[in-house]
Amino acid sequence: MELNEMPHVNEHTCIHCQGVIKEGVLFCNHCGLRQFIPDIDDAVQKQRILIGLSVFFGIQLLVCLISHFNTTGHSLVSLFVFDGIITIATITYAVIYSRELKPLFRWPHFSIVKLFSYVSTAIIAAIVVNYIVKWLNRSIFNAESYYYYAFSNLKYAKLITVLVVAL
């Protein structure tokens, strides 16, 4: 067997220049491009998460559309049914994908100052959004809309309003 006829074991071609390089090499010795080795398990995991997220938002959209085009009337019972379905879908999604969501809830270097700043920022942002939405409703639709007025004829209107918004 001649030297030129040695078998090329553990070699593959560069993804850019098609030059022959050894297996496991991170950069091509011909063009210098970094070799990308696809991680199939990671791609499958990301696809599974993306499909789950699509189903989750599809359910949310479907419930909102059914609620909006509900011809039987908009009652308190139907409101709680639709809110309950959305809540159950959200909790189910959170349980199924808890391993992927867990790092999002980690809070390294917790401090009361950070907590106070986040809470106060959220409150200020909610107030700003409230005034912007009021302004947009007045300038675009010439109307104002409040959750409370939908329940004002009920005995515990304030409590129901808070529960519906919280749910």
Ordered per-residue pLDDT tens for the chain, 167 residues: 455 555 455 777 877 788 888 877 778 878 887 777 667 777 888 899 999 999 999 999 999 999 888 877 777 788 888 889 999 999 999 999 999 889 888 888 889 999 999 999 999 999 999 899 989 989 998 887 777 777 888 888 888 888 877 77
Domain hosting 30: range is 1-37
Are residue 3 and residue 14 in the same domain, yes or no? yes
Are residue 116 and residue 133 in the same domain, yes or no? yes
Q: Are 27 and 11 in contact (CB under 8 A)?
A: no
Q: What was the pLDDT predicted at 43?
A: 81
Q: What was the pLDDT predicted at 12?
A: 73
Closest to 11 (Cα-Cα) out of 30, 24, 27: 24
Are residue 101 and residue 117 in the same domain, yes or no? no
Residue 12, strand partner residues: 21
Are residue 46 and residue 90 in the same domain, yes or no? yes
Are residue 51 and residue 29 in the same domain, yes or no? no
Are residue 53 and residue 98 in the same domain, yes or no? yes
Give Cα 87 to chain centroid, integer Å. Answer: 15
Q: What was the pLDDT predicted at 161?
A: 84
Tokens of 32: 């210098």
Helix, strand or coil for residue 132? Answer: helix
> How far is it, in rounded angstroms, from Cα 159 to Cα 157?
6
Q: How far is residue 80 from each of residues 24, 83, 163, measured CA to CA in Å?
A: 58, 5, 10
> How far is it, in rounded angstroms, from Cα 35 to Cα 22?
11
Give me the number of domains the chain comprises.
3
Q: What pTM did the predictor assign?
A: 0.59
Beta strand extents in 8-149 (DSSP E only)? 11-13, 20-22
Q: What was the pLDDT predicted at 91?
A: 95
> Given 60, 84, 106, which residue is the final one in a domain?
106
